[in-house]
Protein backbone atom coordinates (compact mmCIF):
# COMPACT_ATOMS: atom_id res chain seq x y z
CA UNK A 1 0.00 0.00 0.00
CA UNK A 2 1.43 3.37 -1.02
CA UNK A 3 1.27 6.11 1.59
CA UNK A 4 -1.08 8.83 0.41
CA UNK A 5 0.39 11.06 3.09
CA UNK A 6 3.84 10.58 1.61
CA UNK A 7 2.53 11.40 -1.86
CA UNK A 8 0.88 14.58 -0.61
CA UNK A 9 3.96 15.77 1.25
CA UNK A 10 6.20 15.02 -1.72
CA UNK A 11 3.92 17.13 -3.92
CA UNK A 12 4.38 19.95 -1.39
CA UNK A 13 0.64 20.19 -0.79
CA UNK A 14 -0.35 21.41 2.66
CA UNK A 15 -1.15 18.31 4.72
CA UNK A 16 -3.32 17.89 7.80
CA UNK A 17 -2.97 15.10 10.33
CA UNK A 18 -4.67 14.59 13.65
CA UNK A 19 -4.63 11.94 16.35
CA UNK A 20 -7.01 9.64 18.14
CA UNK A 21 -6.41 7.54 21.24
CA UNK A 22 -7.53 3.90 21.03
CA UNK A 23 -9.61 2.89 24.05
CA UNK A 24 -8.93 0.65 26.99
CA UNK A 25 -11.05 -2.19 25.60
CA UNK A 26 -12.33 -3.37 22.23
CA UNK A 27 -15.33 -1.07 21.73
CA UNK A 28 -14.05 1.13 18.89
CA UNK A 29 -17.36 2.74 18.01
CA UNK A 30 -16.43 6.19 19.36
CA UNK A 31 -13.06 6.14 17.59
CA UNK A 32 -14.65 5.08 14.31
CA UNK A 33 -17.27 7.83 14.61
CA UNK A 34 -14.58 10.47 15.09
CA UNK A 35 -12.56 9.04 12.19
CA UNK A 36 -15.59 9.19 9.89
CA UNK A 37 -16.19 12.82 10.89
CA UNK A 38 -12.58 13.74 10.15
CA UNK A 39 -12.11 11.65 7.00
CA UNK A 40 -13.16 14.42 4.56
CA UNK A 41 -10.78 17.01 6.00
CA UNK A 42 -7.60 15.27 7.18
CA UNK A 43 -4.98 13.29 5.30
CA UNK A 44 -4.07 10.81 8.02
CA UNK A 45 -4.86 10.00 11.64
CA UNK A 46 -2.25 9.17 14.29
CA UNK A 47 -3.13 6.30 16.58
CA UNK A 48 -1.39 6.69 19.93
CA UNK A 49 0.29 3.80 21.74
CA UNK A 50 -0.87 3.63 25.36
CA UNK A 51 -0.21 7.36 25.92
CA UNK A 52 1.03 8.45 29.37
CA UNK A 53 1.80 4.75 29.92
CA UNK A 54 -1.89 3.98 30.38
CA UNK A 55 -2.68 0.63 28.81
CA UNK A 56 -4.95 0.68 25.76
CA UNK A 57 -5.63 -1.55 22.78
CA UNK A 58 -2.52 -1.65 20.59
CA UNK A 59 -2.69 0.67 17.58
CA UNK A 60 -1.61 -1.38 14.57
CA UNK A 61 -4.72 -3.59 14.66
CA UNK A 62 -6.89 -0.48 15.00
CA UNK A 63 -4.96 1.02 12.07
CA UNK A 64 -5.85 -1.96 9.90
CA UNK A 65 -9.52 -1.48 10.77
CA UNK A 66 -9.29 2.24 9.97
CA UNK A 67 -7.99 1.39 6.52
CA UNK A 68 -11.15 -0.66 6.02
CA UNK A 69 -13.07 2.54 6.87
CA UNK A 70 -11.16 4.51 4.23
CA UNK A 71 -9.02 6.42 6.73
CA UNK A 72 -5.23 6.47 6.39
CA UNK A 73 -3.55 5.75 9.74
CA UNK A 74 -0.20 6.71 11.24
CA UNK A 75 0.87 4.27 13.96
CA UNK A 76 2.85 5.62 16.88
CA UNK A 77 5.67 3.32 18.02
CA UNK A 78 7.35 3.87 21.38
CA UNK A 79 10.56 2.43 22.82
CA UNK A 80 8.89 1.87 26.18
CA UNK A 81 7.41 -1.62 25.99
CA UNK A 82 9.32 -3.82 23.52
CA UNK A 83 12.83 -4.90 22.71
CA UNK A 84 14.29 -4.74 19.22
CA UNK A 85 12.98 -8.18 18.28
CA UNK A 86 9.39 -7.31 19.15
CA UNK A 87 9.52 -3.85 17.57
CA UNK A 88 10.76 -5.17 14.26
CA UNK A 89 8.25 -8.02 14.33
CA UNK A 90 5.43 -5.54 14.98
CA UNK A 91 6.54 -3.29 12.13
CA UNK A 92 6.53 -6.23 9.73
CA UNK A 93 3.14 -7.34 11.01
CA UNK A 94 1.68 -3.87 10.60
CA UNK A 95 3.09 -3.61 7.07
CA UNK A 96 1.53 -6.97 6.20
CA UNK A 97 -1.82 -5.50 7.34
CA UNK A 98 -1.43 -2.57 4.96
CA UNK A 99 -0.09 0.03 7.39
CA UNK A 100 2.71 2.19 5.96
CA UNK A 101 2.96 5.34 8.12
CA UNK A 102 4.80 5.29 11.45
CA UNK A 103 6.04 7.90 13.88
CA UNK A 104 8.62 6.93 16.50
CA UNK A 105 9.13 8.32 19.99
CA UNK A 106 10.57 7.36 23.35
CA UNK A 107 7.33 6.95 25.31
CA UNK A 108 6.41 7.72 28.89
CA UNK A 109 7.82 5.92 31.92
CA UNK A 110 5.50 3.11 33.15
CA UNK A 111 5.83 4.35 36.75
CA UNK A 112 3.73 7.37 35.77
CA UNK A 113 0.96 5.29 34.19
CA UNK A 114 -1.80 2.98 35.36
CA UNK A 115 0.50 -0.05 35.68
CA UNK A 116 3.33 1.50 37.72
CA UNK A 117 4.93 -1.87 38.44
CA UNK A 118 5.43 -2.64 34.74
CA UNK A 119 9.07 -3.05 33.74
CA UNK A 120 10.27 -0.45 31.23
CA UNK A 121 12.17 -1.77 28.22
CA UNK A 122 13.67 1.16 26.28
CA UNK A 123 15.94 -1.24 24.40
CA UNK A 124 16.24 1.19 21.51
CA UNK A 125 16.35 4.97 21.38
CA UNK A 126 14.11 6.90 19.00
CA UNK A 127 17.01 7.21 16.57
CA UNK A 128 17.66 3.47 16.76
CA UNK A 129 13.96 2.77 16.16
CA UNK A 130 14.16 4.86 13.01
CA UNK A 131 17.29 3.00 11.88
CA UNK A 132 15.55 -0.32 12.48
CA UNK A 133 12.57 0.74 10.37
CA UNK A 134 14.79 2.07 7.61
CA UNK A 135 16.69 -1.22 7.60
CA UNK A 136 13.49 -3.23 7.29
CA UNK A 137 12.39 -1.06 4.38
CA UNK A 138 15.77 -1.79 2.77
CA UNK A 139 15.29 -5.54 3.20
CA UNK A 140 17.24 -6.49 6.33
CA UNK A 141 16.80 -6.56 10.10
CA UNK A 142 18.99 -4.93 12.75
CA UNK A 143 21.19 -8.01 12.89
CA UNK A 144 21.82 -7.80 9.16
CA UNK A 145 19.62 -10.77 8.24
CA UNK A 146 17.87 -10.58 4.87
CA UNK A 147 14.08 -10.35 4.83
CA UNK A 148 11.77 -12.45 2.70
CA UNK A 149 9.84 -9.55 1.25
CA UNK A 150 10.55 -6.02 2.43
CA UNK A 151 7.88 -3.65 3.77
CA UNK A 152 6.97 -0.26 2.38
CA UNK A 153 7.35 2.21 5.25
CA UNK A 154 6.98 5.98 5.51
CA UNK A 155 8.66 6.86 8.78
CA UNK A 156 8.64 9.95 10.93
CA UNK A 157 9.45 11.26 14.39
CA UNK A 158 8.60 14.09 16.75
CA UNK A 159 10.19 17.50 17.23
CA UNK A 160 9.92 20.33 19.74
CA UNK A 161 10.70 23.74 18.20
CA UNK A 162 9.97 25.41 21.52
CA UNK A 163 12.49 23.35 23.51
CA UNK A 164 14.35 25.32 26.15
CA UNK A 165 17.65 23.94 24.83
CA UNK A 166 17.27 24.58 21.12
CA UNK A 167 20.81 23.46 20.29
CA UNK A 168 20.17 20.05 21.84
CA UNK A 169 16.81 19.80 20.06
CA UNK A 170 18.44 20.62 16.72
CA UNK A 171 21.10 17.97 17.35
CA UNK A 172 18.33 15.45 17.96
CA UNK A 173 16.48 16.55 14.84
CA UNK A 174 19.56 16.04 12.68
CA UNK A 175 20.11 12.58 14.18
CA UNK A 176 16.50 11.60 13.46
CA UNK A 177 16.74 12.79 9.87
CA UNK A 178 20.03 10.97 9.33
CA UNK A 179 18.41 7.82 10.77
CA UNK A 180 15.65 7.99 8.16
CA UNK A 181 12.84 10.28 9.36
CA UNK A 182 10.97 11.70 6.38
CA UNK A 183 8.50 13.79 8.35
CA UNK A 184 8.36 15.42 11.78
CA UNK A 185 5.31 16.16 13.90
CA UNK A 186 5.89 18.87 16.49
CA UNK A 187 4.82 19.71 20.00
CA UNK A 188 2.01 22.28 20.11
CA UNK A 189 2.93 25.67 18.64
CA UNK A 190 1.44 28.98 19.75
CA UNK A 191 3.92 31.33 18.07
CA UNK A 192 4.69 31.02 14.35
CA UNK A 193 8.01 32.80 14.87
CA UNK A 194 9.20 29.88 17.05
CA UNK A 195 8.66 27.51 14.11
CA UNK A 196 10.35 29.86 11.66
CA UNK A 197 13.42 30.04 13.91
CA UNK A 198 13.53 26.26 14.23
CA UNK A 199 13.16 25.62 10.49
CA UNK A 200 15.88 28.12 9.64
CA UNK A 201 18.27 26.50 12.09
CA UNK A 202 17.35 22.87 11.40
CA UNK A 203 17.87 22.94 7.62
CA UNK A 204 15.25 20.24 7.08
CA UNK A 205 15.74 19.89 3.34
CA UNK A 206 12.97 17.70 1.93
CA UNK A 207 11.85 16.48 5.35
CA UNK A 208 8.27 17.60 5.98
CA UNK A 209 7.39 19.49 9.16
CA UNK A 210 3.84 19.22 10.51
CA UNK A 211 3.34 21.85 13.22
CA UNK A 212 1.32 20.82 16.26
CA UNK A 213 -1.92 22.66 17.01
CA UNK A 214 -3.82 22.34 20.30
CA UNK A 215 -7.02 24.42 20.42
CA UNK A 216 -7.21 26.21 23.76
CA UNK A 217 -10.36 25.35 25.67
CA UNK A 218 -9.84 27.86 28.46
CA UNK A 219 -7.45 30.33 30.04
CA UNK A 220 -6.86 27.76 32.77
CA UNK A 221 -5.78 25.21 30.16
CA UNK A 222 -3.36 27.71 28.60
CA UNK A 223 -1.75 28.43 31.96
CA UNK A 224 -1.56 24.70 32.74
CA UNK A 225 0.23 23.98 29.45
CA UNK A 226 2.82 26.65 30.23
CA UNK A 227 3.42 25.27 33.69
CA UNK A 228 3.43 21.55 32.96
CA UNK A 229 4.39 20.69 29.38
CA UNK A 230 8.06 21.20 28.40
CA UNK A 231 8.48 23.04 25.14
CA UNK A 232 5.01 24.57 25.07
CA UNK A 233 4.82 28.31 25.53
CA UNK A 234 1.51 30.13 25.22
CA UNK A 235 2.56 33.79 24.77
CA UNK A 236 1.39 36.37 27.29
CA UNK A 237 -0.81 38.11 24.74
CA UNK A 238 -2.71 34.89 24.04
CA UNK A 239 -3.08 34.25 27.77
CA UNK A 240 -4.57 37.71 28.20
CA UNK A 241 -6.85 37.14 25.22
CA UNK A 242 -8.13 33.91 26.77
CA UNK A 243 -8.61 35.55 30.18
CA UNK A 244 -10.61 38.37 28.63
CA UNK A 245 -12.66 35.77 26.76
CA UNK A 246 -13.34 33.99 30.05
CA UNK A 247 -14.68 37.21 31.55
CA UNK A 248 -16.93 37.62 28.52
CA UNK A 249 -18.06 33.99 28.49
CA UNK A 250 -16.44 33.40 25.07
CA UNK A 251 -13.50 31.10 25.89
CA UNK A 252 -14.48 28.34 23.46
CA UNK A 253 -14.93 30.65 20.48
CA UNK A 254 -11.76 32.62 21.16
CA UNK A 255 -9.76 29.41 21.62
CA UNK A 256 -10.94 28.24 18.21
CA UNK A 257 -10.20 31.66 16.69
CA UNK A 258 -6.62 31.43 17.96
CA UNK A 259 -6.25 27.97 16.41
CA UNK A 260 -7.53 29.33 13.09
CA UNK A 261 -5.03 32.20 13.17
CA UNK A 262 -2.17 29.83 13.93
CA UNK A 263 -3.04 27.51 11.05
CA UNK A 264 -3.26 30.48 8.70
CA UNK A 265 0.14 31.71 9.83
CA UNK A 266 1.73 28.28 9.46
CA UNK A 267 0.50 27.74 5.90
CA UNK A 268 3.39 29.72 4.45
CA UNK A 269 5.97 28.20 6.78
CA UNK A 270 5.39 24.47 7.24
CA UNK A 271 4.42 21.39 5.22
CA UNK A 272 1.22 21.04 7.20
CA UNK A 273 -0.30 20.89 10.66
CA UNK A 274 -0.92 18.13 13.20
CA UNK A 275 -4.10 18.98 15.12
CA UNK A 276 -4.28 17.50 18.62
CA UNK A 277 -7.85 18.30 19.59
CA UNK A 278 -7.90 16.55 23.00
CA UNK A 279 -11.61 15.76 22.86
CA UNK A 280 -12.52 18.64 20.56
CA UNK A 281 -12.37 16.56 17.38
CA UNK A 282 -15.80 17.86 16.35
CA UNK A 283 -14.25 21.35 16.00
CA UNK A 284 -11.45 20.31 13.64
CA UNK A 285 -13.50 20.73 10.42
CA UNK A 286 -14.42 24.27 11.48
CA UNK A 287 -10.79 25.17 12.26
CA UNK A 288 -9.61 23.88 8.90
CA UNK A 289 -12.46 25.50 6.99
CA UNK A 290 -12.05 28.93 8.59
CA UNK A 291 -8.27 28.85 8.18
CA UNK A 292 -8.70 28.18 4.47
CA UNK A 293 -6.77 24.92 4.26
CA UNK A 294 -9.90 22.86 3.53
Domains and CATH numbers, the chain: 4-216+270-284 (3.20.20.220)
The residue among 276, 261, 106 whose CA lies nearest residue 187 is 276
DSSP 3-state of 17: strand
Q: What is the mean pLDDT of residues 169-195?
A: 98
Provide the whole-model pTM: 0.96
For the stretch 204-245, pLDDT in tens is 999 999 999 999 999 999 999 999 999 999 999 999 999 999
For the stretch 71-101, pLDDT in tens is 999 999 999 999 999 999 999 999 999 999 9
Instruction: Return the percentage of the chain with pLDDT > 90, whole number.
Output: 99
Q: How far apart are CA 51 and CA 188, in angstroms?
A: 16
Q: Which helix (H) or strand (E) holds 37?
A: helix 29-38
Q: How far apart are CA 238 and CA 190, in angstroms?
A: 8
DSSP 3-state of 273: strand
Q: What is the mean pLDDT of residues 263-291?
A: 97
The number of C-alpha atoms within 13 Å of 45 and in the hemisphere containing its C-beta is: 30
Q: Across the strands, what pairs with 76?
A: 103
pLDDT band at 182 (very low <50, low <70, confident <90, very high): very high
- CB distance 213 to 275 below 8 Å: yes
Q: Indicate the average pLDDT of the chain.
A: 97
Q: Residue 176: pLDDT above 80? A: yes
Amino acid sequence: MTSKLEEKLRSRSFAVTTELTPPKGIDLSDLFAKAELLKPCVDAVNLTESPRARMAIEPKSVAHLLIDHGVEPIVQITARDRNRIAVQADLLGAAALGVTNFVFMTGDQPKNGDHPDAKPVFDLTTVELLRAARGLASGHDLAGNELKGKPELFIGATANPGASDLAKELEGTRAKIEAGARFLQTQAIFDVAVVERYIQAAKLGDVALLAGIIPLKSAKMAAWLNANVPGIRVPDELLEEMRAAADAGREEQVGLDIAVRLVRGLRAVTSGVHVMALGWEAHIPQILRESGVR
